[in-house]
Structure 1
Amino acid sequence: MTSPHEPTADHEGFSHARTLTVEWGHCDPAGIVFNPRFFDFFDWSTALLCEAATGLPKAGMLARYDLLGIPLVETGARFLKPSRYGDRVEIVSTVVDVGRSSFAVRHRMLNAGDLAVEGRERRVWAGRHPDDPARMKAAAIPEDLVRRFRGE
């Protein structure tokens, strides 16, 4: 697994884009987006990417594939340009790596066309543990979804 801070040879897979207006509650007293909020933006962007890839909202995807979740196991970000209250930004989320039971997503947040933040995350496809269904266990990502994530 590659650290989110190390450069990788990304494969441009499935992408999803959304727009977001920066709200007052996203900002710190200086009037710029408070850094942890970017990770909220990216978490929701991954949920929307999965919804677009599967055709199911997150709850439906979890039920369809008998998952407990797609927990975050690694994350990071580079902050390049501040975003402020009222800015309208675009977040482009792209699957850049797919393994047997995990996938990596790159998030690029553009503000007025400029890269403001670049985030990376790796998530695990977490099914139920056979000995205790309340516990998580990494599961194989279904092959049709692997192909979709890879953009095939």
Structure 2
Amino acid sequence: MLVEYDFKVRWGDTDAAGIVFYPNFYKWMDEATHEYLNKSEIRSNTIFETMKINVPLVEALCQFKKPLFFEDQVTVKSVISELHRKVFKISHEFYKGEDCVAQGYEIRAWTSFLDTPKAMEIPMEIRNKMISEVTLILTKK
């Protein structure tokens, strides 16, 4: 499943030259991941409240191709590109119109917070939702 997350660059996202300050891309990837989970009916706040599970970030990378500026309209396109027993990789592409301005990914671990945070296997009901999405993506390659 491809999920799109749209937003407009705000003044506070930019440096003195009006160019987006790079850490904001990581903030937007985080927002896009939670938007992806919500649209997959995997609500981060619900699974934390009911099961004390969350998906902390373990790795992130972003490659910048073109700058973004104040008031640019941006679309982040996100897909789950890898799914393992305890972790998943979600890939993000940033678009301004038709131009891809950045690409990145996050690797997140399903983690229990019942006691000390500890990686855990992805719950089956969640894994089943993610498997069907990843299968669709892999068959398109």
Shorter chain as denominator, the TM-score bin is 0.7 to 0.9
* Structure 1 residue 20 displacement after superposition: 0.7
TM-score norm. by structure 1 comes to: 0.81
Distance 1:144 1:15, change over 3 A: farther
Q: Name the structure 2 match of 1:59.
A: 45
Q: Given that residues 42 and 126 in structure 2 are in contact (C-alpha distance below 8 angstroms), is that contact kept between their aligned partners in structure 1?
A: no
Query: Match for 1:90 among 75, 79, 92?
Result: 75
Partner of 1:3: none
Q: Which residue of 1 aligns with 2:36?
A: 49
Partner SS state of residue 74, structure 1: strand
- Structure 1's 64 and 98: CA in aligned 2 closer, same or farther, altered over 3 A? farther
Flag as ranges the 4+ runs of structure 1 deviating above 2 A: 63-66
Q: Cα deviations across residues 50-99 of structure 1 (Å, max 9, x unaligned)? A: 1111253x2112223331x2111111011001111011010011110111
5+ residue gaps, structure 2, are: 136-141
Query: Whose helix fraction is larger, Structure 1's or Structure 2's?
Result: 2
Count of residues paired in the alignment: 133
Structure 1, unaligned runs of 5 or more: 1-13
Separation in 2, partners of 1:80, 1:22: 17
Report 1:61-140 matches (<5 A): 61-67=47-53, 69-128=54-113, 133=115, 135-140=116-121
Q: Give the TM-score, by structure 2 length.
A: 0.87
